[in-house]
Amino acid sequence: MASLTENLTSADVNLTDTFFQNGSDAFNASTGNVLPPKPGFAELQNNFYVASYILTPIFLGIGLFGNAVTIVTMTSKSFSNMTSRYILIALALSDTTLLLTQPFNKLFLRKLIGYDVRAISDIGCKAFFHIFKTGKMTSSWLIVILCFERFIAVVFPFKTKTIITKTSILTMIALDYIFMITYNGVWTFSSIIVDGTCKPDVTYPETKEKYRDFLLAGSSFYSLIPMVIMALLTPVIVVKLLMQRNKRKQLAGGASGDKADKETLRISFMLIGIVVAYVALVLPITIVHNLAFWRNVSAFDVNTKSFFILREMAQILEQLNYSINFFLYVLCSSKFRERVLQILGLNKCIEKITSGSSSSKTKSTSVNKPTSVLQNSASGSAQTPQNTDGSNNGSSKLASPEQVVIEQEKEKPDEITN
């Protein structure tokens, strides 16, 4: 959840009433302060902050470019008959929203600007985390919708056109946004400005249990429930695809459904890539939040060395998750790849490169061809059959009908004179 409860170094608010210590750093609930880290740990923290300073702009640039090209590609006529294009467009929009808001959660940006942009007003603080969390959660459920769409298309191919329609897809997308916007709107009760910093997890004695419930439900909506659904549907899709592929090999002659089969395979493999990447890159941050909950601490207030490393690595992986979908589309779909090359104007460059290589091959073959032709003609003239007296009696066998007639006309005058 690239931090539904992100505070990078401060510990103004905590959910625990105990003393939590592990290794090189500790948090004392009685004073409400994080004890200063040891020198080695301070250097480790600084290294991660420097890495965040470098990686965050890189992920932002790559993600914005990829999502923009995805939206332009999916709105083209080439994909007009593909119902899943609406899901991929919405997914690109949600990922873009998250990528644009995520840098403002980083400590290096607040230090660079000199103040917390999120804390300009109380409404601005609540609106920021409302948008931030909504982008994250809608993105997860859009992948679930895509997984469901592929499940129907592969397992129930004859019912696909009646179940998976433009109306049904747009309805599911709308319900996703309506539910997440409403839920995160209520959750803004814990987003409060404290000492000039906008914090998403400020609690008081009367709101502590309410925040805990929303945190658990938010973690479930963001990753746990989507992962369970994907874990159930994706293996079925893979097995069904393998079975269909084996049947096509056995039938080896039915070409009527080849084009449709390739289309189904292409989109389904793209889905599998998205699901695998989602689970691998989002699972670590889910572990961080659930581990913090079961230890009864705030995930971003306790800077023990082991917990800090796990949290920072999980955040990097999660940022990567929202930046690489475009590359998965390019790798898994030749149709998507061709359209992207056309949009970026790279197809002409590739055609020039391929035509240049093919022309060089043609020139190399044409250089060798005259020599072989001359050799064949020379050998052909040398092998003309002759009699022992030097006359060419065997030439009529090799000559064309026109040549035979000419030779006969030449012989007639001699016969008459004699």
Dihedral-angle region of residue 195 (phi above 0 means left; psi in -120 to 50 means alpha; beta otherwise): left
| Widest CA span in the chain | 141
Dihedral-angle region of residue 284 (phi above 0 means left; psi in -120 to 50 means alpha; beta otherwise): alpha
Q: What's the pLDDT band for 121 if we cut at 50, 70, 90?
A: very high
pLDDT of 77:
86
Tens digits of per-residue pLDDT, 222-263? 988 999 999 899 889 888 887 877 787 777 655 545 555 666
Domains parsed from the chain with CATH numbers: 20-348 (1.20.1070.10)
**DSSP symbol at 31:** T
Q: How far apart are CA 333 and CA 22, in angstroms?
A: 47
Tell me the pairing of strands 20-22 and 25-28: antiparallel
Q: How far apart are CA 71 and CA 85, in angstroms?
A: 9
Res 292 pLDDT > 80: no
Burial class (CB in 10 A: 0-12, 13-18, 19+), 25: buried
pLDDT of 382:
45
DSSP-derived 3-state class of residue 63: helix
The residue type at 346: L
Res 338 pLDDT > 60: yes
Structural contact between residues 102 and 319, judged by C-beta atoms closer than 8 angstroms: yes
Phi (first) and psi of residue 3, to 5 degrees: 70, 90
The single residue listed with the structure tokens 């030779």 is 407
Structural contact between residues 284 and 317, judged by C-beta atoms closer than 8 angstroms: yes
Res 133 pLDDT > 80: yes
pLDDT of 314:
87
Tokens of 15: 């959910």
Q: How far is CA 214 from CA 139, 208, 211, 299, 373, in A?
A: 19, 10, 5, 14, 84
**pLDDT higher for 383 or 360?**
360
Closest CA to 7 of 311, 215, 220, 284: 311
**DSSP symbol at 252:** -
What is the rounded end-to-end Cα distance, in angstroms, of the chain?
114
* CB neighbourhood size of 149 (10 A): 22
Angle at 46 between CA 45 and CA 48, to 5 degrees: 65
The three state secondary structure string of 278-337 is HHHHHHHHHHHHHHHHHCCCCCCCCCCHHHHHHHHHHHHHHHHHCCCHHHHHHHHCHHHH
Structural contact between residues 198 and 116, judged by C-beta atoms closer than 8 angstroms: yes
**DSSP symbol at 15:** S
Burial class (CB in 10 A: 0-12, 13-18, 19+), 99: buried
Q: 122-155 and 258-294 are packed helices; what angle lies between their axes, rounded to 10 degrees?
A: 140
pLDDT of 122:
93
**DSSP symbol at 37:** P
Q: How far apart are CA 3 and CA 6, in angstroms?
A: 5
Q: What's the pLDDT band for 22 if we cut at 50, 70, 90?
A: very low
pLDDT of 359:
60
Structural contact between residues 118 and 125, judged by C-beta atoms closer than 8 angstroms: yes
Average per-residue pLDDT in the chain?
76
Lowest mean pLDDT among 165-179, 183-197, 295-309, 363-377: 363-377
Measured on CA atoms in the order 295, 298, 302, 306, is the torsion positive or negative?
Answer: positive
Tens digits of per-residue pLDDT, 29-75? 444 444 455 567 788 888 888 888 899 999 999 999 999 999 999 99
Tokens of 359: 């022309």
Task: Determine what percent of the chain is predicted with pLDDT higher than 90.
Answer: 28
DSSP-derived 3-state class of residue 210: helix
